[in-house]
Structures are given as C-alpha cells and as structure tokens.
Structure 1
Amino acid sequence: MPDRLPTITTLAELVRLVADDVYVRWSRGPEADAVSRSRDSLTGVELPGLSASPLRVEPWWDDRSRELWVARRLFDYRHLRELRGSDVRAWVLRGEEVGRGPDNEPLVRCAEPLAWVADSALRECIALVDAQHSTEWGPLDRSSSGR
C-alpha cells in the first residue's frame, strides 16, 4: 500500500487536500498503523484511534494564510522522526474522529490513506514557520522541555 500512495512534494499540494476529514500523521505509515494502535507514551494505555493532526482550517483563522496553517500542522510533530526512527514519516489520511488523546489531539480511524509527505514539502513548512520569527513558538517536543 505505501508504494501505491502518491507523494506530496510541495506545500501547495498539501494545502489543496485541506478538508474537515483530512489529517496528517507521523508514523511508519498506513500498513504499520493497520496492525498497531497509538498508545499514551506516559501510561502505555492503548488509545481508540490513531493520533493525528487535523488539516481543517478553524473558523477563527479567518482569511489568514492556509499555507501557514498547514505548515504549522506538520511542524508541530516533526520531532517524532528523530524520537522514533528515520522510518517515521508524515502522511495524510481521510479519517473519522473517534476520541481525543491525552494531549487533546484527535484520535482518528483511518478511512483512506491519501499520500506521503515528501521532505521537500516539510522543508517548505519549516521555512514558512521560521519566517514568522516567533521566539515563543516551536514544535510540540517534550524532550526539549528542560526537565
């Protein structure tokens, strides 16, 4: 299945997929996720769906850049590749939300894998987020919390 998935190579391609039921997930891909479940990393509790980030644009975002919205969605969890291994990649799926995870993230049931996200698109996302020059914002990486 992963070999048959198309690959999104630009941020613009990813923005065209934005919809209410489209999510981005960082994992080893749809085949690996079909035989395993997401777990709470603190307690080990099996979750009822896959942890994912919605690509749907929230109403309060108004007419701001859809590119920046989507870039944030990928930027937030890009550290998972370093944390869980080089075979962890971003991929996009159509899914149904079945609950909320311990970090209040959507837990989804994958209805249809849509595409892999290439590193070229990720580089565009990182560049766009970095261009905001925010000193108070960064990836959701607990390992950098300085405990």
Structure 2
Amino acid sequence: MDLNPLVEQNRPVTAASAGGMALVEHLDELTELVGAAGPAYVRFSAGPEADAQGTSRDGESGATLPGLSVNRLQPEPWWDRPPRVWVARQLMQYAHLGAGDGRVAWVLTGREVGRGPDSEPLVADVVPMALLAPGVLDEAVSVYRENLATGRLPDGP
C-alpha cells in the first residue's frame, strides 16, 4: 500500500484552524495523550462540527449507524511493542479515509455502542479532544514502515 498520497492529500491543520481544540503535532505527543485519556479514538472526517449529529452512515448499504465510526488508539493488552507503534498502526488502518475532500484526523473519547460493517467501533456521546496536524501522519507512516511487515499475512496454525 502506498501511504505517501494519504499524507500529501490531508488538509493542512494549524493552531488557528483547530477551532479551540488541542492541535497534536507529533506522534509522541499523540501517544502521550492516548496514554492519559483512557479509551480514545481517531476519526477521519470533515471534523467534529460536521459530525455533531453523532452518527455515521454505511457507504455500501446506506444504513445509519448508531454512532461514529472510529478506530481505537489504546494498545490491546496483548500488544508487546511500544505504544507508539500501535498508535501509528491504528492511524494507518483508516488513513485512506482522510485523503482529500477536506477531511481531517481528529481524536475523541466516547462510549462504544456497537460495531460497524468493518468491525470498527461505533462511538456515541462524543467528546472531541484534538486535531492531528499532517506531520503526525507523516511520522506514523515512517514508524509503520520501520516497525511492521506491511501487507504480511498471518502465519497459519
């Protein structure tokens, strides 16, 4: 998967455009935020104001989902690598959704209310926490490539 276009197409985010939310500019800063926040999620969309209605729609069926489609940023208990690598991997799993169309990556907390069609968490009672500057995705691409075997299939039983 070529990840460079994902970073290049992301809308520029500055402190002025963050709308009062924190602006995370480095992957380590995001990893610290995730460690301190409890369950935190990333969403790639037009931003918190655009998502204020609190639901997502399944693109294939058109069904309204009971919450926002997100990706969890906390490492699972079985994860045996640095949390920074997990966060980078989670950003890369859905970063293609942030490419173009004025979308940004933002971090939120909320209550899990179900699973979406790709088994992603659906979150309600959303509290926006921070916007991610494009440099965070640049760093995530590097960490992802340096630490993980991208595209490798799991070993058999």
- Matched residue, 1:70: 87
Question: Structure 2: how far apart are the matches of 1:25 and 1:67?
Answer: 18
Cα offset, 1:35, TM superposition: 3.2
Secondary structure in 2 aligned to 1:7? strand
Matched, 1:47 2:62: no
Q: Which piece of structure 1 moves more, 19-28 or 44-53?
A: 19-28
* Contact preservation (8 Å) 1:93, 1:110: no
How many pairs were matched up?
134
AA matched with 2:103: V
* Contact preservation (8 Å) 1:74, 1:122: yes
Cα offset, 1:29, TM superposition: 0.7
Deviation string 1:88-134 (CA, Å, 9 cap, x unpaired) is: 11100011101110111000014310000011111000011111362
- Matched residue, 1:96: 111
Secondary structure in 1 aligned to 2:118? coil
Quick one: structure 1 residues 110 and 11, their matched pair in 2 at CA, closer, same or farther if it must change by over 3 Å?
farther
- Matched residue, 2:6: none
Identity of paired residues, percent? 47
* TM-score of the aligned structures, taking structure 1 as reference length: 0.84
For structure 2, the residue ranges without an aligned partner over 5 or more in a row are: 1-16, 153-157
* TM-score of the aligned structures, taking structure 2 as reference length: 0.79
RMSD: 1.8
* Contact preservation (8 Å) 2:116, 2:122: yes
Quick one: structure 1 residues 102 and 133, their matched pair in 2 at CA, closer, same or farther if it must change by over 3 Å?
closer
Deviation string 1:33-57 (CA, Å, 9 cap, x unpaired) is: 0136311111000000000011121
For structure 1, the residue ranges without an aligned partner over 5 or more in a row are: 138-147
